[in-house]
Chains A and B, each alone.
Chain A
Amino acid sequence: MSVLKILIADDEAPARNRMRDLLTDIENVAVVAEAKNGKEAIDLAQQTKPDLLLLDIRMPLMDGIEAAQHAQKLEPKPHIIFTTAFDAYAVKAFDLNAIDYLLKPIRLDRLQTAINKAHALKPKQLDALRPLQKIRTHLSIHERGRVLLVPVETIIYLRAELKYITVRTAEREYLVEESLTHLETEFGERFIRLHRNCLVAPQFISGYEKRLNQDNEQQWVAILKGIPETIAISRRQQHLVRES
């Protein structure tokens, strides 16, 4: 029987220690990494390629449920077991979707059973958990076999291209396969729609200017902080310029 590689994610050191202690009593497992939050878990998972993620639900920066969603893009896709001390809503959601979870303090025999039957989550099951957390803190981007996590607060604009969405931060561009409408509903508080195909974070807009476009027509554009590109504003959204 091959050794099951495990990654532990919990923001509390004593909880991680306890989990490691318990795992020493279980055969054929090895702890390959320990993470303090969901983001660290995803980053470490790419380096260590664990077979199983033990994810605490309440963690700063990125919680366990969001981490589990991003983990669906990892290759190979790890099994996931959630751990929680007390999250009434979460536990209810797990019960409904028959997702494996362990209640802290964790008992050795429960852990053993869960590991024996460790199975991968289906994305559908994870979607059902979405209401728990309002909005994602990061977008996960698949790039050359790696998963990159882009913090939502660093995104300047999201622009719909033919098949993809361009995600622009001060450093660079990323491509992500999602729908702009979906992103607008999720992050509506953070971005405004300046154009049919573009959502912009208002705090990165430094001003507005009238410029000539390719068809030699006058058009308002938004000037952005930190990057040279400008975003054309559609006629319908021009009231935003006046209001600013």
Chain B
Amino acid sequence: MRKNSRLPNLHNLGIHLRILLIVNLLAVMAAILLSNQLNEFFPLLAQLSALVQPILLLSMLGLYGLYPILKQLKYWQGIIAIVVLEIAFISLVYLFINRLFAFDSTTEIYRAYLLTAIVTGIVLYYFYLQERAYSPAIAEARLQALQARIRPHFLFNSINAVLSLIRSQPKRAETALEDMADLFRVLMSENRDLVPLAQEIGLCHQYLDLEKLRLEDRLKISWQIDDMPSDAIIPPLILQPLLENAVYHGIEPMPEGGEIIVKIYTKHKELHIIINNPYASQSNHHTGNKMALKNIKERLKLHFDLESSVKTEAKNNRYEVHIRIPFGI
């Protein structure tokens, strides 16, 4: 087992939806196995369901409530805690059913414990595999940062711009090199933990200062972030690569340049980030890679599952990326 595995985010609706699906699918399989004929299947499934649904409901509520505590544990401790919790939940349900319907099912309880442990194991293993499937996106983020996201084009042009300043404006050259160092420090670091939104915005300012050096008045940017919750936490490098795309595809091909609009606000407990840039569909500009966008989608999915979305739209000669992530978790 890898060191960095984490329990699934039990405050996420998508995760609960998956738990619901897997367990019910297993119940259907059990009903199929137990029934000899098709007409036995539905009564059996209903019977199983009557037992499974209360357990599921109790588990989901319990795990949701206890997640802040579970989160503190090491991965293996969390696994044990969840299995123990599930066994406790099933005991509760059995106790309740015994009281209510007064039939004797004590003989079944050990069988039920065993089944619970197996089903819990299957679900946790599923989430473990899922995390592993998406984790390369995070490792790749670092690599791509050097290869594609910070485009070599940007790196060498920036160095060239700094060189042009050294003789005439050494102070500006100094600031530019400092900005570059900061930018690359972030790009080369382990980008696993969430960062405050204000920090990402700061990074974007440094990046844009560098681009301004090259593009001068051609690059205009309008920040519409008055309603932004600067303490919101987001995965790092969500905004910067998108701004880089906007500059590369939206500003550089235009002789007169253009304006990039960044809008950040919250609505219904969700953080919305919108980046809007000019876009010439007929330009001869290299059709850039969709790597940055793809990587951001994968990382958001890993962090927030179904609760985040990335939408892109091109119309009226402008291109827009709209990111939605849950706020306040």
Contacts and interface: CB of A to CB of B under 8 A. Distances in A.
Interface of A: 11-15, 17-18, 21, 36-37, 58, 60-61, 63, 66, 85-87, 103-106, 133-135, 137, 153
Contacts of A85: 152-153, 155-157, 160
B252 A21 contact: no
A18 B163 contact: yes
B216 interface: yes
Interface string B152-169: 110111011101110110
12 contacts: A12-B160, A13-B216, A14-B161, A21-B164, A21-B167, A36-B255, A60-B252, A85-B156, A85-B160, A87-B153, A104-B159, A134-B284
B153 A14 contact: no
Interface in B129-181: 151-153, 155-157, 159-161, 163-165, 167-168
Contact of A60 (B157, B159, B253): B253
A69 to B, nearest CB: 13
B156 A17 contact: no
A87 B160 CA distance: 15
Given A17-B168, A85-B152, A104 B252 contact: no
Contacts of B168: 17
Interface of B: 151-153, 155-157, 159-161, 163-165, 167-168, 213-216, 252-255, 282, 284-286
A106 B252 CA distance: 21
A134 B155 CA distance: 26
Contact of A15 (B153, B161, B252, B282): B161
A66 B167 CA distance: 33
Cβ-closest 7 pairs across A and B = A18-B164, A85-B156, A14-B161, A86-B152, A14-B164, A105-B160, A60-B255
Contacts of A86: 151-153, 155-156
Nearest to A56: B157
